[in-house]
């Protein structure tokens, strides 16, 4: 960008292929410009893990060390003073919000978590790809990258940080024939007899963008379409030993651009809801 433009710039959003922010973000930060990266270049703290999953050697040790994971419901205070924000992926956003209250309460077995997730086709990006052509996805539902999705290590890293112990989970993402939307159904083994409904309501009572539905209600992707909201519902199994957490977001908003704007608002001391009340839909 032109230097004259940069002198007026306070924040830059990277919505670019992996590796672009890795090489360019540092120069903007040196100029005093905040950076919010919607890609994965600064999400994983383990550089070798990043190279294994994204096929790119991570060369920015200092930048990685100062990067803040941009999930406001978990890292709001750190975001306020960040120079570099790693905007979370869509699946991690839905799964982490579904598990945060339980991990903070040490209420679940951290080694027996299962996340069964469905995403609209926009989650695969806009590039031409046979697998996402209309005739390939219409009237069909399919799992993909079973337990080997790039978002798995990112999610485990964040969950482990919240829990204070290593968290591992089975992750099966699915592609569904709709443009946008994401639904995560997360299954956990409870360590104690808890009131899950009250736990979630208390945990998210001050979070504008997380809606804990009433007992017996379930989230729907259409209810959060085009919004920055996450809807959560919980249901115990009949024996009370397991819990099902259902989490719905718009993968393009709370799972991407909306969350990036939410992070910017926090970064600059603005109302967290600014720019996120009315959103045009594309697609």
Q: Which residues are catalytic?
A: 90
Strand arrangement, sheet containing 84-86:
11-14, 34-37, 84-86, 68-69
Residue 18: which H helix or E strand, with range?
Answer: none
271: number of CA atoms within 13 Å, CB side?
A: 6
Residue 116: which H helix or E strand, with range?
Answer: strand 113-119
CA dist 18 and 42 (Å) reads: 10
CA dist 1 and 177 (Å) reads: 38
> Is residue 261 within 8 Å of residue 275, measured between CB atoms?
yes
Cis amide prior to 3 (ω within 30 degrees)? no
Residues 6+ apart with CB under 8 A from 71: 88, 92, 93, 96, 97, 158, 259
What residues does 247 pair with on adjacent strands? 184, 232
What residues does 230 pair with on adjacent strands? 210
């Amino acid at each position: 960008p032109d230097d004259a433009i940069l002198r007026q710039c306070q924040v830059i959003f990277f919505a670019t292929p992996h590796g672009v922010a890795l090489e360019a973000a540092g120069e903007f930060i040196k100029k005093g410009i905040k950076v919010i990266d919607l890609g994965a270049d600064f999400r994983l703290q383990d550089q070798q893990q990043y190279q294994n999953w994204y096929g790119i050697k991570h060369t920015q040790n200092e930048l990685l060390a100062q990067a803040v994971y941009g999930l406001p419901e978990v890292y709001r205070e750190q975001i306020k003073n960040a120079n570099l924000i790693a905007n979370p992926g869509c699946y991690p956003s839905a799964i982490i919000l579904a598990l945060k209250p339980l991990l903070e309460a040490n209420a679940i077995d951290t080694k027996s978590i299962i996340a069964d997730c469905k995403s609209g086709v926009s989650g695969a990006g806009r590039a031409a790809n046979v697998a996402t052509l209309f005739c390939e996805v219409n009237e069909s539902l399919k799992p993909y990258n079973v337990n080997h999705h790039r978002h798995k290590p990112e999610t485990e890293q964040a969950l482990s940080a919240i829990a204070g112990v290593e968290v591992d989970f089975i992750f099966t993402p699915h592609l569904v024939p709709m443009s946008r939307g994401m639904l995560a159904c997360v299954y956990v083994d409870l360590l104690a007899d808890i009131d899950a409904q009250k736990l979630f309501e208390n945990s998210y009572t001050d979070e504008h963008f997380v809606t804990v539905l009433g007992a017996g209600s379930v989230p729907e992707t259409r209810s959060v379409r085009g919004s920055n909201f996450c809807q959560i519902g919980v249901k115990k199994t009949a024996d009370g030993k397991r819990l099902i957490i259902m989490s719905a977001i718009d993968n393009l908003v709370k799972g991407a651009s909306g969350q990036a704007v939410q992070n910017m608002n926090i970064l600059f001391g603005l109302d967290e809801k600014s720019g996120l009340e009315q959103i045009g839909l594309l697609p």
